A and B are shown apart, each in its own frame.
Chain A
């Protein structure tokens, strides 16, 4: 009797779905950007911004749609991912809107292009498209393992996406764009997800060969020569991207993601050693003949030198923005981060956060990213299938590397790369692709946390009960 009760208890109650926690968090994730929006308006013009209602409703609507779809189609999903992403997206919109109000940037746009058009409405539209993709992924992708079927198709698509920008003209020194009529797309952002699917599928099949067939040498396992094939191929690919598209960030991101996933799949530390060696060799090698990379390194080492500042004072301006913010920041709308000029609301948007929210705000901000990554890795831990584990850890790892590379570049920790800060930086591709990334993580976490189907009633127990009296 007691054993039956026990089994049925698990089945009846199950893991809490945590959807109400998510809803409560979402309220904050919408309210905080609304306050920030009001704050910017009051600081800059002394009155509540006129777009306040539309903006608050827009963000609230997007969050509500996201939440309802999760509630319906992924009821056991991780409760933090959606609110955190909404918060970042909302704050990003506020800061883009704040930079739209900047006299200096408006003047700059008029001088350069003849007219100024605000970016915030576009960004709100992109966010809506992002949520739409998020919804589509959750509705259409009933189980993440379906993606496994598309392993090699993913490879082909990813290759095309990565190679395409080579045939389009460089924008601001980097060939990472493809332009279709009025739209320009940064395919690297989408390739990030698609290539993670390919790596997961591929490594799941090959992991045993890569892990077991090896020789021991000086305490580490050396892979066989033919097993080195894949890592060398990816390495070569990243170097080609670096050389032909002059895109340090994407190159680093793909190689880093591959090494992370290879390590998780094989549990062999030797892959990490190999990966580090190869990236060091590749980076130094390319830096010796690529003037574009050399410039970036120069700007990183001597941001205030006259020669660097003549070319571009962005890094110096960014560092001064951070320094001028100090511990508490100037307050939203009251800084001068728009002195950065070019890319102030995209690649360098973090500097505005730094100056206006200060060290305190920045720490919170970086921790939000840390939390997203942590929830992603936790999803990987909880996932029951190796494909899901690999995909989740690959996507979270890529997210972490991207955040590190962008923030590190803007803060002068590492050389600057042309990547966008997920959810925050102005730009459609980034925000849309990252909503899809979150959707996949939510899908995996839903599968992972969903209670196992109730076991069939134990026929033996029934029997004994029948027989006993």
Chain B
């Protein structure tokens, strides 16, 4: 009977082997997947097990942590001036997940990042509690405050970029929300969350990154860049071939200007200054959709941006007939952009034609403030050459000095900008969006800031002036805050 007993021994060995293999599968091969599984509560428990690292602006944290009791979470996230900063930080809530920086850099903030492994092991041996690392942002507190206060009770968004690096200086969205209100897991937190979810104004929507608006006349800057870059016109002061009235190709429809403005054969400079639809519509149609598409995509259109928070792709339509191309070239038809995208357009012009990759996280710090990762500014593209960029700068500066954008003038800096009023809704029935994009240059050279402002459903007139009247002052204050903080 010993032979079958030996075989049974082997069989039992195989059973144990199967268990060992399965265990290796669970605890080694798929361990990470199970550890970070969306239904694994440990992810949340860990996130709040120790004081969470902070998100830092201008050397000061805009977040905090406080001790809680009554659940398996040890700490709760707190926010300083949460409404102002939530478009930057996102939120980390015990009950409702995390977004934006709080979610993307969760590993650093909780101290679980692989790059902290050595330190963590050392802490474990010395018996120190695990701490969270910090996320240092590029934002400028004064600029953010100017943007947030400028928007006030209006709906809208502001994005400001340092053109030479791509660093994001301000990112405001209103109406906003205070993430402290629902950071915990109590009843009050749920109610606050429910209220936010039901609010028709969608306060949790980050309008600066995730909402695409028709850009209106501000898009004419892109069309002007395309005209220069593709050699349609070389000199801002050269007369363009622009009949008035102008009938769009293949149609009987005349493209209208806002009011009786001098647009017949206007120079590029004048056309931009008074914002001629006919001139830029015809430029777009003359260039054709492929060239317009090429230039707009170099500015970043039709692509999501990751700063590292995701920003929606701005749209310049790919399939268009000629009249649609003309309309798209003045920021109508299906053209739609995020405020961030328009800030990128202004920043590329201000930076002599070089577009830098936008980013808002400068450094990741270990709990002891050692730098574990630092962002190096990267060139994203070159939408226009340096001479052309400088021509476009002159044109935009004319807009602010003598055109629709005079409200953005600053005493100690040269400002270039472009207004826009985008109509929307069926038959333009809804209140228009007021736009302003601009940059400011120091007299000593170098442009420290480019900004895009959009104000929704303002009590704007339908005139082009509204962008200059409503959005430009906000842009002006943001630019002023950046320039003042440089001193």
Q: Which residues of A contact B (CB under 8 A)?
A: 103-104, 260, 263-265, 267, 304, 309, 313, 316, 319-320, 322-327, 336, 339, 354, 358-359, 362-363, 366-367, 369-370, 373-374, 377-378, 380-381, 386, 389-390, 393, 396-397, 400-401, 403-404, 407-408, 411-413
Q: Which of B15-23, B141-149, B228-236, B440-448 makes up part of the contact surface?
A: B15-23
A336-B45, A400-B12 as given contacts; A411 in contact with B35, CB under 8 Å? no
The answer to whether A386 touches B1, judged by C-beta atoms less than 8 angstroms apart, is: yes
Rounded to whole angstroms, the CA-CA distance of A374 and B17 in the bound complex is 13
Q: Which of B4, B31, B33 has the largest number of chain A CB atoms within 10 A?
A: B4
- Closest 6 pairs between A and B when the two form their complex, measured CB to CB: A323-B34, A359-B27, A400-B12, A370-B16, A404-B15, A322-B26
26 contacts between A and B (CB under 8 A): A309-B39, A319-B34, A320-B37, A322-B31, A323-B30, A323-B37, A324-B42, A326-B35, A327-B27, A327-B31, A354-B27, A358-B27, A359-B28, A363-B20, A366-B20, A370-B16, A378-B9, A381-B5, A381-B9, A389-B1, A390-B1, A393-B8, A397-B11, A400-B16, A408-B18, A412-B26
Closest to B13 in A: A370
CB distance from B129 to the nearest CB of A (A): 12
Which of A260, A354, A400, A401 sits near B23, CB closer than 8 Å?
A: A354
Which of B19, B26, B33, B39 sits near A366, CB closer than 8 Å?
A: B19
Rounded to whole angstroms, the CA-CA distance of A414 and B103 in the bound complex is 36
Mask, B361-402, CB within 8 Å of A = 1, is 000000000000000000000000000000000000000000
**Could you list 13 further interchain pairs (A-B, Cβ under 8 angstroms) beyond the known A267-B4, A320-B42, A323-B31?**
A313-B39, A319-B34, A325-B31, A326-B31, A359-B28, A362-B27, A366-B23, A377-B9, A381-B6, A396-B12, A408-B22, A411-B22, A411-B23
Closest to A266 in B: B4
The answer to whether A389 touches B37, judged by C-beta atoms less than 8 angstroms apart, is: no
Number of interface residues of B (CB under 8 A): 36
Tell me which residues across on chain B come within 8 A of A401, comparing CB atoms: 15
Which of A354, A380, A396, A404 sits near B18, CB closer than 8 Å?
A: A404
Q: Is B3 an interface residue (CB 8 A)?
A: yes
Within 8 A of A (CB), among B133-190: none
Tell me which residues across on chain A come within 8 A of B39, comparing CB atoms: 304, 309, 313, 316, 320
Rounded to whole angstroms, the CA-CA distance of A298 and B16 in the bound complex is 24
Q: Which of B18, B19, B22 has the largest number of chain A CB atoms within 10 A?
A: B19
Q: Is B72 an interface residue (CB 8 A)?
A: yes
Q: Is B41 an interface residue (CB 8 A)?
A: yes
Closest to B10 in A: A377
Q: Is B24 an interface residue (CB 8 A)?
A: yes
Closest to B16 in A: A370
Which of A309, A326, A327, A374 sits near B9, CB closer than 8 Å?
A: A374
Tell me which residues across on chain B come within 8 A of A380, comparing CB atoms: 5
Which of A324, A366, A389 sits near B16, CB closer than 8 Å?
A: A366
Q: Is B40 an interface residue (CB 8 A)?
A: yes
Closest to B24 in A: A359
Closest to A331 in B: B124
Main secondary structure of the interface of A (DSSP, over half): helix
CB distance from A21 to the nearest CB of B (A): 22
Closest to B32 in A: A323
Tell me which residues across on chain B come within 8 A of A324, comparing CB atoms: 31, 34-35, 40, 42
Q: Is B2 an interface residue (CB 8 A)?
A: yes
Q: Which of B1, B27, B40 has the largest number of chain A CB atoms within 10 A?
A: B27
CB distance from A349 to the nearest CB of B (A): 15
Tell me which residues across on chain B come within 8 A of A363, comparing CB atoms: 20, 23
The answer to whether B23 touches A362, judged by C-beta atoms less than 8 angstroms apart, is: yes
Mask, B25-61, CB within 8 Å of A = 1, is 0111011111101011110010000000000000000
The answer to whether A264 touches B16, judged by C-beta atoms less than 8 angstroms apart, is: no
CB distance from B288 to the nearest CB of A (A): 51
Tell me which residues across on chain A come within 8 A of B2, comparing CB atoms: 381
Rounded to whole angstroms, the CA-CA distance of A353 and B28 in the bound complex is 15
Closest to A103 in B: B72
The answer to whether A267 touches B3, judged by C-beta atoms less than 8 angstroms apart, is: yes
The answer to whether A104 touches B23, judged by C-beta atoms less than 8 angstroms apart, is: no
The answer to whether B4 touches A264, judged by C-beta atoms less than 8 angstroms apart, is: yes
Closest to A367 in B: B16
Tell me which residues across on chain A come within 8 A of B27, comparing CB atoms: 322-323, 325-327, 354, 358-359, 362
Tell me which residues across on chain A come within 8 A of B6, comparing CB atoms: 381
Tell me which residues across on chain B come within 8 A of A327, comparing CB atoms: 27-28, 31
The answer to whether A408 touches B8, judged by C-beta atoms less than 8 angstroms apart, is: no
CB distance from B44 to the nearest CB of A (A): 10
CB distance from A257 to the nearest CB of B (A): 11
Rounded to whole angstroms, the CA-CA distance of A260 and B19 in the bound complex is 20
Which of B5, B7, B72 sits near A389, CB closer than 8 Å?
A: B5
Tell me which residues across on chain A come within 8 A of B33, comparing CB atoms: 323
CB distance from A286 to the nearest CB of B (A): 22
Closest to B9 in A: A377
CB distance from B297 to the nearest CB of A (A): 40
Which of A103, A354, A373 sits near B12, CB closer than 8 Å?
A: A373
Tell me which residues across on chain B come within 8 A of A336, comparing CB atoms: 41-42, 45, 72
Tell me which residues across on chain A come within 8 A of B13, comparing CB atoms: 370, 374
Closest to B21 in A: A413
